[in-house]
Structure 1
Amino acid sequence: MSLINHYRKFLIGKLDLDLNIVKCENNKIYTQDGRVVRDYLSQYGALPFGHNPDFCANAVIEHLQSKAPVFTQPVFQKATEEFAQELVEVLGGWANHVTFTNSGAETVEVGFKLARIKTGRKKILSVDRSFHGKTYSALLATNSRRHNIEHLRNDDKNFDKITLNDFAALERELESQQYAAFIVEPIQGEGGMHVADVAWLARARELCSKNRTVLIFDEIQTGLGRSGGICVAQDIGITPDILLLAKSLSGGLIPTGAAVYSSSVSTPEFDRKHSSTFANNGLATCVGRAVIRELSKNDGAALKHVKTISALVDDCCAQLTLRYPDIFSWRGAGLMRAFQFHDVQADANYIVTYLQNSGSLAWLICSYLLNRHQMLVMPLLSDKCSIRFEPPLNSSAEDIADFFIALEQVCILINNGRYDILMAGLIEKPYSELPGLEQAFPAVVAQQTAATQYAGQEKKRGKTFAFLMHFTVVDDCVRMLPQCFHRNFTEAENRHLSSLIMEVGAVDTSPGVALKFCVSNAHAFANGMMIMSPIAPRDMMDLPAAEKENLIKDYIAVARREGAEFLGLGAYTSVITRGGEKMLDDIAGLSFTTGNSLTAIATTETVLEASGRDLIGAVISVIGARGAVGKLMVSELAHWGDNIILMGRPGTEKHLLQELLPSLCQLAFSAEQQAQPGSVIDNIQGYVHRAMPELSEYIGAGKAVPAAGVAAVVDRILADDVVNSLGLSTCDCYKTALEQSDYVVSATSEGKPFLNTDFLKEGAIAIDTARPFDFIVQPGQRVQVLEGGLVLQPETLSYGDCNMVGLPPGVNLACLSETIALAIEGCEGRFSVGKSIEYAQARYVTDIARKQGFLPLGYQAPAPAVQQATVPETSANEEQLAELS
């Protein structure tokens, strides 16, 4: 584990972006393994002339060798005073004051402090997608969901945001006269290289002057050459009250920054109260002065070169846009660019769509450019799928041309679906073993796939839904890989890559939309989406409580941004929220379900059909009976069977009965569903008639039995020790239970296979509803272990280019089906919540599902067998599966 930043070290290592650097010079990075990498990132714009430029290095050497002062606080050095004057002059002479700092974020803090002291106001106005640093005030002005720490934003009431280039919002907010400052980047850096409209900035200047709001230009990244001028403000003829500089001022050697401002902003109070231990130091001064000299010499030749190179970049971008209009787009100006990629042909493939929407594809492109072309760039973390391009100001035309040759190869790879080449380096697969990049393997192969959106007019529109999902086993990921991997990687390589994706997912859990699709029946439709995190169940369960909460909040945030009205919890998102109970405060305005009702009923329907609806005399084991799905399965089976074994861990037998008996007794009174003679429910009813006749009148009478009455029945059953005679028993030994059971239903959150099918009674049928599956099916073993919780869909289609758990078209998970059915119905509210779902609600949900065309798969219809991730795939009913497929 890295002592510095484990997350970043892990991510960079796994994505093959780590470099063992031994030397840096100009735009070259030399590594220990002999590679020479060209740097097109420039430390996010902080290396104006590349690494260790001679003129800066010589200035530092001369300064240190002469024993010139470095830190002399509180005494000001003459050189620092001269540096301040030179800075003011090169910026056009409008300023009268300079405050030096140690970083960009500290410079932003100085700007806020100045503005608040001067105006006496607290509020700061900034711009959507802005980035101003990672100190707390800078973060509050930064509008980035990736960088902000929501639960620690204790002062966010004093920070508002508007949309870039929105004139109406600008006027509305600044005319309110409530802001100390309006801070804006003329070109947004981390926010996506969006360029501010000059007329909009000019209007901001007018409004700030009129309403006594301090106008702050954050030119920490644009200033000193990157935009092709000394600063954008000077180029466009707009004078801010405060101009912030940092990155380029350092020359790539000494962290430093400067807030440059006019007398209209300065105050004696600020001068009295502000200082900085390491600011105003002699070493930073000598480097900063060297940078100013370099930019100014030869009549600004360095800046003219930037404009020439920028024009070349414009031409290259235009050519790529012309050749690949659906794949490549760009934003920015000067040597600050965002290059964005999108594969419109892969919208039915989970992996590619997720990689695009989560931003992970940008990381893969950066990895490919580094390892295939020896070029260093990094993603724009606040943008979906963009890389940032910020080469040194002195880059050559050859450097630019070479980069765009490599970038065109990326466009060709995406156009041809060649994600195998993009990701080959992650598992050290030689590029020579893959077909050439010109050979196309479309990510999605045409088949029975649901449309991405309903295009008709005549049907009723349901609610837009979002289903929260993640990989449950490696096979899920392998199955979802685009075609090129199945054609060009071995099975072992695909499993290796999928394991790596899930390993990264354990550290970077960021959810993203993995699929958009439409489901319809004869009368209605609903548009929806799958929102995926690449995390595995065990890793999700092992997250600290706060990280589990953050993960769910991230899921919900994506759903809200995409316009979801109805939310469905899939797999372990239900487990870590305790059946949705822990997320109730975060979903205001959204309806949702865990999907557990239909999962339970669909599973028990398989048992009922397998038995011909005759379970009297059969032994049924329920594994995971304390969970939400398990309890509902017991409730349903108790209407049909007379010998139900509740399986639990050693020492939990008493808890099983305490949790399940009250609901079973309540069902005996309500008689919502007719119980088979001799079944558990029928036996409880008979027991009440015999032992507690005073409560008999409530059975099936439609009257609510007093809670005390139900409790009294439970107490009497336990006191009389008649549980077994009613048809219930408990067991803490899986082997014992499996050996005597005719039917076994399993729905645990164990997170791994743990039930040995060798213990199954001959002729027994097991239905496994857990994911990952609870049963271990050995190769070649012919046992009836069926996949539970499956539902026939209203259309014989796959959602995406494959159903997420490998089911044939027209069959899918009950939890997803419950979400879709309730959304099509237009239901509002919360369904199937918590560990104790009311049986009446489960039947209600099932009725709605049936009405909308979602029918439990059952046993008579062909059903796929459990296929474990830990062993080669097997099938207990291969003929039926083949028939259905």
Structure 2
Amino acid sequence: MNRSTDLIALEEDRGAHNYHPLPIVLAEGEGAWVTDTDGNRYLDWLSAYSAVNFGHRHPRLVAAAKAQLDRLTLVSRAFHTDQLGPFSAELADLCGMDAVLPMNTGAEAVETAIKAARKWGYRRKGIPADQARIVVFDGNFHGRTTTIVGFSSDADARDDYGPFTPGFDSVPYGDIAALAAAIGPDTAAVLVEPVQGEAGVISPPSGWLKAVRELCDAHNVLMIADEIQSGLGRTGYTFACEADQVRPDMYLLGKALGGGIVPVSAVVADREVMDVFLPGTHGSTFGGNPVAAAVGREVIAMLATGEWQRRAQELGKHLESALAGLPRGKVTAVRVRGLWAGVDLAEGGPTGREVCERMSRLGVLCKEAHGSTVRLSPPLVIEPDEIDRGVAALKQAIGD
């Protein structure tokens, strides 16, 4: 496979660190496919990571962006536009909540939620000043800002970035007893991924999210669901929390909310929480800009029919069936949630990174997680034969 000069230079520059990048894909894509600058085509199974649940250049989303580009594109945050109000109302309705605070990136949404939870703790719960605490979970991934990596258990994300922001308590994911022990009178919130995507598509035990909700209710603690990866159709539900019939106090959304067209994220909550922010106390320079809001509205309209959620469920069954044929002895576990899967590799075989590099040479893009796991995130527009093609590449990359 040909590679660009820039990629070769980068590889040589980092050669001492054993750095092996995947292909840089810069040319346009369509549907489930992308094309690099040398004309090589790839089936994109990175879409939960790259935020294109609905595929590359979905015509409805492109049309929404183009229509807005012919009108107002950016505006001072002191003004509303004809897109921001409807976007906020439609997203609030999709979430079954009252208020939306639009942002740009997932990490920005998480940081906003942390601020809201702390302020809610002081203004509503009566936690003493500067004593608010938030419980998080081992194996989490919520972003890469300094505050967020400070409560990460991933050394690659955390090392060499301290000192870190205090006020976080991390407990084992899926352990309700550990969570109960960590909640105290100064706990303002529990921040949880309903499915840990970056960790390798890890789901908690059955009933655990309901138990988290009950603990939060019992102790007057906010439940914040980070659905930036798991939300908006990926797991076969609009939100992964819905599979357990759980309604959090805050949803954090991003990635697919921008449809692969523009960066869009949002914090969604009821006013009892969101109204702790008063004019001038929080903001985002580009949050809720007209182009982002227009694309976000079209994403919401597509999800409102339930078509994409059903498609994720149906194609997920096809993916799970295809993955059942992976070579025994080379794979130790396969986890599937909707159209999303994590494949754990056995010791002694290729690493997750090596498998992903081999797959890229076979024309399929995916991502490793924590060394020994391959994460598969096909776009929701993928067809069954393309799933079969991707799984065949995975089998070849793992080896018989």
Normalised to the residue count of structure 1, the TM-score between the two structures is 0.42
1:24: how far off?
A: 1.5
8 Å Cα contact 2:48/2:379 also seen in 1: no
Q: Does 1:127 align with 2:137?
A: yes
Where does residue 376 of structure 1 map in the other structure? 365
Where does residue 78 of structure 1 map in the other structure? 82
Which residue, 187, 195, 198 being the options, matches 2:195? 187
8 Å Cα contact 1:42/1:391 also seen in 2: yes
Change in CA separation of 1:208 and 1:14 when aligned onto 2, cut-off 3 Å: closer
SS at match of 1:363: helix
Change in CA separation of 1:184 and 1:270 when aligned onto 2, cut-off 3 Å: farther
Q: Does 1:366 align with 2:356?
A: yes
Where does residue 179 of structure 2 map in the other structure? 170
Q: Does 1:62 align with 2:67?
A: yes
Listed as ranges, the matches of 1:474-485 within 5 Å are none
8 Å Cα contact 1:49/1:251 also seen in 2: yes
CA deviation profile, 1:106-129 (whole Å, cap 9, x unmatched): 000111101100112421210010
1:295: how far off?
A: 2.0
Which residue, 285, 302, 310 being the options, matches 1:304? 310
Where does residue 52 of structure 1 map in the other structure? 57
Aligned equivalents of 2:78, 2:197: Cα separation in 1: 35
Where does residue 127 of structure 2 map in the other structure? none
8 Å Cα contact 2:119/2:276 also seen in 1: no
Q: Does 1:212 align with 2:220?
A: yes
Aligned equivalents of 2:150, 2:358: Cα separation in 1: 35
Aligned equivalents of 2:31, 2:317: Cα separation in 1: 22
Change in CA separation of 1:227 and 1:270 when aligned onto 2, cut-off 3 Å: farther
SS at match of 1:394: coil
SS at match of 1:114: helix
Listed as ranges, the matches of 1:194-343 within 5 Å are 194-297=202-305, 300-320=306-326, 323-325=327-329, 327-343=331-347
Listed as ranges, the matches of 1:495-510 within 5 Å are none
Where does residue 803 of structure 1 map in the other structure? none
**By percentage of residues, which structure has more helix?**
1
Q: Which has the higher contact order (CA 8 A, sep 6+)?
A: 2
Which residue, 105, 108, 112 being the options, matches 2:110? 108
Which residue, 394, 402, 417 being the options, matches 2:389? 402
Aligned equivalents of 1:43, 1:235: Cα separation in 2: 19
Change in CA separation of 1:181 and 1:83 when aligned onto 2, cut-off 3 Å: same
8 Å Cα contact 1:117/1:270 also seen in 2: no
Aligned equivalents of 1:266, 1:337: Cα separation in 2: 34
Change in CA separation of 1:317 and 1:140 when aligned onto 2, cut-off 3 Å: same
SS at match of 2:100: strand
CA deviation profile, 1:429-450 (whole Å, cap 9, x unmatched): xxxxxxxxxxxxxxxxxxxxxx
SS at match of 1:37: strand
Listed as ranges, the matches of 1:141-160 within 5 Å are 141-150=151-160, 152-156=162-166, 158-160=167-169
Q: 1:53 is matched by which residue type in structure 2?
A: H
Change in CA separation of 1:64 and 1:311 when aligned onto 2, cut-off 3 Å: same
1:21: how far off?
A: 3.6
Aligned equivalents of 1:166, 1:8: Cα separation in 2: 44
Aligned equivalents of 1:134, 1:253: Cα separation in 2: 22
Aligned equivalents of 1:8, 1:31: Cα separation in 2: 20
SS at match of 1:126: strand
8 Å Cα contact 1:124/1:141 also seen in 2: no
Q: Does 1:35 align with 2:40?
A: yes
Change in CA separation of 1:6 and 1:135 when aligned onto 2, cut-off 3 Å: farther
8 Å Cα contact 1:15/1:364 also seen in 2: no
Aligned equivalents of 2:277, 2:11: Cα separation in 1: 42
SS at match of 1:192: coil
1:233: how far off?
A: 2.1
8 Å Cα contact 2:99/2:269 also seen in 1: yes
1:335: how far off?
A: 2.2
Aligned equivalents of 2:11, 2:219: Cα separation in 1: 45
Listed as ranges, the matches of 1:645-724 within 5 Å are none
SS at match of 1:384: coil
8 Å Cα contact 1:140/1:148 also seen in 2: yes
State the number of aligned residues: 386
Where does residue 378 of structure 2 map in the other structure? 391
SS at match of 2:147: helix
Listed as ranges, the matches of 1:310-709 within 5 Å are 310-320=316-326, 323-325=327-329, 327-343=331-347, 346=348, 361-371=351-361, 373-380=362-369, 383-411=370-398, 413=399, 415=400
Change in CA separation of 1:18 and 1:55 when aligned onto 2, cut-off 3 Å: same
Q: 2:200 is matched by which residue type in structure 1?
A: G
8 Å Cα contact 1:128/1:143 also seen in 2: yes
Change in CA separation of 1:8 and 1:97 when aligned onto 2, cut-off 3 Å: farther
8 Å Cα contact 2:342/2:376 also seen in 1: yes
1:10: how far off?
A: 4.3
Q: 1:405 is matched by which residue type in structure 2?
A: A
Q: 2:87 is matched by which residue type in structure 1?
A: F
Where does residue 718 of structure 1 map in the other structure? none
Change in CA separation of 1:100 and 1:7 when aligned onto 2, cut-off 3 Å: farther
Greater CA radius of gyration, 1 or 2? 1
Aligned equivalents of 1:26, 1:13: Cα separation in 2: 33
Q: 2:308 is matched by which residue type in structure 1?
A: A
CA deviation profile, 1:249-296 (whole Å, cap 9, x unmatched): 011011110000013323344554011111121000000011111222
Aligned equivalents of 1:269, 1:399: Cα separation in 2: 46
SS at match of 1:319: coil
Q: 1:195 is matched by which residue type in structure 2?
A: S
1:319: how far off?
A: 3.1
Aligned equivalents of 1:189, 1:9: Cα separation in 2: 30
Aligned equivalents of 1:252, 1:9: Cα separation in 2: 30
Aligned equivalents of 1:124, 1:14: Cα separation in 2: 36
8 Å Cα contact 1:125/1:141 also seen in 2: no
Normalised to the residue count of structure 2, the TM-score between the two structures is 0.89
Aligned equivalents of 2:210, 2:158: Cα separation in 1: 29
CA deviation profile, 1:674-723 (whole Å, cap 9, x unmatched): xxxxxxxxxxxxxxxxxxxxxxxxxxxxxxxxxxxxxxxxxxxxxxxxxx
Aligned equivalents of 2:238, 2:344: Cα separation in 1: 27
1:195: how far off?
A: 0.4
1:342: how far off?
A: 1.4
Indicate the RMSD between aligned Cα atoms, in angstroms.
2.5
Q: 1:311 is matched by which residue type in structure 2?
A: K
- Unmatched segments (≥5 aa) in structure 2: 123-130
Aligned equivalents of 2:21, 2:256: Cα separation in 1: 28
Calculate percent identity across the aligned residue pairs: 27
